[in-house]
Copies of this chain bind each other. A is one copy, B any other.
C-alpha cells in the first residue's frame, strides 16, 4: 500500500508544515474517511520511515500525536492500531460498566487482578467513613471492551458492611453483589475526574506504555443510609471513552426519555 500524501489533501496553509503533522493529517484523513477501520494495524515504524522519507524519530512523533488525539493506540511492542469508537459513559448514572457497554452493542468483560483484606490507614479512613485500623477490602479489576483492556479499577470497600465479599464472584457487577447479598443500594454523588498520564504499574496492567495519556476518575459511593461504603479509583485509556452526562433535575420524565446525549456529529475541531 502506498501511504504517500495525495496533492489534493494538503493543507491550505501548507508550506512549512512540519513533516510529522503532514503524516498525522494523512492518517487522520484515512481514519475519518473510514478507509482505515478500527483495529487495523498500521505499518511498522521503519516502513513509514521509508515511505515518507523521514527518520524513525519523526515517524514516531506523528504516531504519538495521533495517539494523543485518540485516533490510534499502541500495544506494547506489538504495533500501532486504529482505535475503536469511544464508549459513551455516564459516571453519574447508576448504570454498571457491563450494562452500558452491552447497551452500545459491544462486549464487556472483567478480570480480577487481585483482592486483599487490609487495615485502613489514615488515608483510607478519610474516604471510607471508617476508623484507622478497621478492615477494608481492596479489589483490583481490569475491564475490557471487545477484548481490549480499557479500564483499571481500584475498589476500596468497607469490609464490615459486606463480610465475605471476597468469596463472591467479583468478575460480576459489584453493584449487583452489594444489592443481592447485603441489601445495599448504592448511589454515587461525588465524582472527580482529571486527565493525566499513566504511571508504570497502571500502564502495565492496561498493557500500554508508561506515560500513555489517561483519564483518572474517582468516586465516593454511598448506600441508602447515606453512609460511605466504597471508594473507587478508575484509570481509563483516554481514547476509550466519551463522558456523557445527563442532568435530569429540570427535565420532566417524558423529556428526559429518549434523549440522545451524544454530540458526536459536531466536529470537535475546526481544522
Q: Which residues of A contact B (CB under 8 A)?
A: 21, 57, 65, 68-70, 86, 91-92, 123, 126-127, 154, 187-202, 210-211, 213-216, 218, 220, 222, 226, 231, 233, 238-239, 241-251, 255, 259, 261-263, 265-271
Q: For the complex formed by this chain, how many copies does it contain in all?
A: 2
For A247, give its contact among B189, B197, B241 (CB under 8 Å): B189
Cα A188 to Cα B11 with chains together (Å): 36
B-side contacts of A269, CB under 8 Å: 198-199, 201-202
State whether A251 and B210 are in contact (beta carbons under 8 Å apart), knowing that A69-B197, A194-B86, A218-B266 are contacts in the complex.
Answer: no
Question: Do the beta carbons of B250 and A249 come within 8 Å of each other?
Answer: no
Smallest Cβ-Cβ distance to A194: which chain B residue: B242
Per DSSP, chain A at the interface is mixed
Question: Do the beta carbons of A271 and B199 come within 8 Å of each other?
Answer: yes
Question: Do the beta carbons of B189 and A251 come within 8 Å of each other?
Answer: yes
Cα A113 to Cα B242 with chains together (Å): 28
Question: Do the beta carbons of A245 and B196 come within 8 Å of each other?
Answer: no
B-side contacts of A244, CB under 8 Å: 190-192
For A68, give its contact among B188, B196, B202, B245 (CB under 8 Å): B196
Question: Do the beta carbons of B246 and A249 come within 8 Å of each other?
Answer: no
28 pairs across A/B with beta carbons < 8 Å?
A65-B197, A68-B213, A69-B196, A70-B196, A92-B245, A92-B247, A123-B266, A123-B267, A154-B270, A187-B247, A189-B250, A189-B251, A189-B259, A190-B247, A192-B263, A193-B243, A194-B242, A195-B213, A196-B268, A198-B269, A199-B271, A200-B271, A201-B270, A226-B250, A226-B251, A245-B245, A248-B249, A249-B249
